Amino acid sequence: MTQVIRILENVRATTPLVHCMTNSVVPEITANVLLAIGAAPAMIDLPEDARVFAGLASALLINVGNGLGEQHQGMRLAVDAAESAHTPWILDPVAVGGLPVRTALAREVLQHHPAAVRANASEILGLTGESAGGRGVDATDEVEAALGAARSLTQSSGAVVAISGPTDVVISPDRTTRITGGSPLMPLVVGTGCSLGAVVAACIAAARSAQLTDHDGVVAAHALFAAAGTLADRQASAPASFRTAWIDALYTVKPDEVVRLAAIEES
């Protein structure tokens, strides 16, 4: 897909600045992943600083996993500032459904028009109130089980909704795209899913500056992850070696290789 190539090239050309308000387990891998793809990370959680910075960044990531009360207040301020500044922001509702504080926060900020929601199937079902969520951060539902909830969510929020799984599905009101690739080792490395949210933010910023759609940006991010996972899987024998090979692949893979390595199906 030419849109994927253009967006990934534009990430390198424009170095989008991604404001990451993310959970305490994953800032380091998230920052390294953003640097590898050609974007610039910023981790700013203090509420007043977050409010200011969200209006200056190219995109904002809100990841509600394992945060503290002060960070949650910063998220509210940052989302409000991003909406006012027309800065695209992405919601990653980590382990939403069974945990009341983060579930309430995710549903609250959802009213502020995210550009995209990126989650596994159980998190999508938990966000929409159709289940109690998964087993912590792990999905207990298949991707196909969350398609109806994802379609309802994109209609109600206007956001592009991406469901991660063996085949990722990206849904917007008039499009559905499936992306297949990656490695069975990817779920064994902490932070791969959370860092995907940050890459979605970078790719949406790059898509908008290239006058392409948010849906195209979300597809480009997932295709890049799938392609890099496929390349890393050829070299790695275990999770630690996969982590290194995968970040290296994110840095070295060419945009035209991404569309050859990741199976992208539009419907």
Report whether pLDDT(267) > 60: yes
Give, in order, the Cα–Cα distances in Å from 44 to each of 48, 52, 54, 57, 203: 10, 10, 9, 11, 20
Mean pLDDT of 129-150: 74
Would you say how long the chain is, in residues? 267
Q: Give the C-alpha separation, 78 to 101, whole Å.
A: 18
| Mean of the per-residue pLDDT values of the chain | 94
* Residue 155 clears pLDDT 70, i.e. is over it: yes
Binding site residue list for ATP: 118, 164
Per-residue pLDDT at 176 exceeds 80: yes
Work out the average pLDDT over 159-175.
96
8 Å CB contact between 38 and 14: no
**Who wins on pLDDT, 16 or 267?**
16
Q: Is the pTM of this model over 0.85?
A: yes
Neighbours of 124 (CB within 10 A): 34
- In this predicted structure, the answer to whether residue 138 has a pLDDT above a threshold of 60 is no
The angle, 0 to 180 degrees and rounded to 10, between the axes of the packed helices 2-14 and 192-209 is: 90
Asked if residues 208 and 59 have their Cβ atoms less than 8 Å apart, the reply is no
Q: Which helix (H) or strand (E) holds 19?
A: strand 17-21
Predicted confidence (pLDDT) at residue 136 exceeds the cutoff of 80: no
Question: Which CATH number describes the domain made up of 2-266?
Answer: 3.40.1190.20
Given this model, what pLDDT does residue 56 score?
A: 96
Instruction: State the alpha helices, DSSP H only, in 158-254.
Output: 192-209, 214-233, 239-252
pLDDT per residue over 75-128, tens digit each? Answer: 999 999 999 999 999 999 998 988 899 999 999 999 999 999 999 999 999 999
User: What is 54-94 written as a DSSP string?
Assistant: HTTSSEEEEE-TT--HHHHHHHHHHHHHHHHHT--EEEE-T
The confidence score (pLDDT) of residue 66 equals 84
E strands present in 72-215: 89-92, 116-120, 160-164, 167-172, 175-180
* Binding residue numbers: 43, 118, 164, 191
Task: Specify binding-site residues for substrate.
Answer: 43, 191
